[in-house]
Structure 1
Amino acid sequence: MLMFGKKNKPTEITKPRRIASQLEPDVELVGDLSFSGLLQVKGNIYGNVIAPMDSDATLLLEADATITGEVRVPYIQIKGKVTGDVYATNRISIKAGAIVIGNIHYEEIELDQGAHLAGRLISSKEEAITD
């Protein structure tokens, strides 16, 4: 008995996933930091953290890490402490135990119970209306 079926499509070759850049717990950076891709921060940054806002750049701020300065990154996950204004053009997630002292400008936000915020939440849609 002959059976006819769909031919299997050839599998696409995908790019290898880029390994994240990391700032380890024993590292303290004084000065501005710009990056693209994925940045995992476990240490302390005293300066602004900036990524191209039209990219898929992602910042992961771990539980004992701190940033003292402005943060401008499309995708942000905060488990540590940020002292300064935060701008997330796509999505920000603030986890339980995180501390943000400053205004948060966002497109989408996830704010877990137990997260601490001392500042304003400003939707990019709200900013567009007031401009």
Structure 2
Amino acid sequence: MFSRKKQPPLKSLIAQGTRVEGDLLFSEGMRIDGEVIGDVRARAEQPSLLVISETAQVEGTLHADHVIINGTVVGPVHAAELLELQPRARVTGNVHYKSLEMHQGAVIAGQMCPVAELVEEKPPLQLASNAS
């Protein structure tokens, strides 16, 4: 779903030195460099990217398709597609992901919960009989 070239644009920014208290709902891409106390959730209608930079601190639940963390998160993380934990990532809470990329130095204090894809049930394989 996400190639390095075709990620959603970062349309929202919480700048370093800014503190937001309350839940955030965003479209496409958001970058957090400051402090957020509240849940951060992407709208479900389109692909989403959430970047938590190395200067960021978030206390709350994160929900997006592609989540990149290099800062501090206290709360559960839900990445519907890809979760990238960069070297300075510090996550205290359970992480839910379809795919995971974790760099040396990243720390998770919680459970790692891979999200299983819904697998289409196939009919049982029938072997040809050996009637002669």
Q: Which 4+ stretches in 1 moved above 3 angstroms?
A: none
Decide which structure has greater strand share: 2
Partners of 1:100 and 1:60 lie apart in 2 by: 14
| Aligned-pair identity (%) | 29
Aligned to 1:92: 83
Decide which structure has greater helix share: 1
Partners of 1:24 and 1:33 lie apart in 2 by: 14
RMSD of equivalent CA atoms: 1.9
Structure 2: runs of 5 or more not aligned: 1-7, 120-132
Q: Is 1:93–1:110's contact at 8 Å kept on the other side of the alignment? A: yes
Q: Is 1:52–1:74's contact at 8 Å kept on the other side of the alignment? A: no
Given the alignment of the two structures, is residue 77 of structure 1 paired with residue 68 of structure 2, yes or no? Answer: yes
Q: Is 2:78–2:96's contact at 8 Å kept on the other side of the alignment? A: yes
Q: Is 2:10–2:30's contact at 8 Å kept on the other side of the alignment? A: no
Matches for 1:48-87 after TM superposition, within 5 Å:
48-53=39-44, 55-87=46-78
Q: Is 1:53–1:72's contact at 8 Å kept on the other side of the alignment? A: no
**What's the TM-score, normalizing by structure 1?**
0.79
Partners of 1:109 and 1:40 lie apart in 2 by: 19
Partners of 2:97 and 2:49 lie apart in 1 by: 14
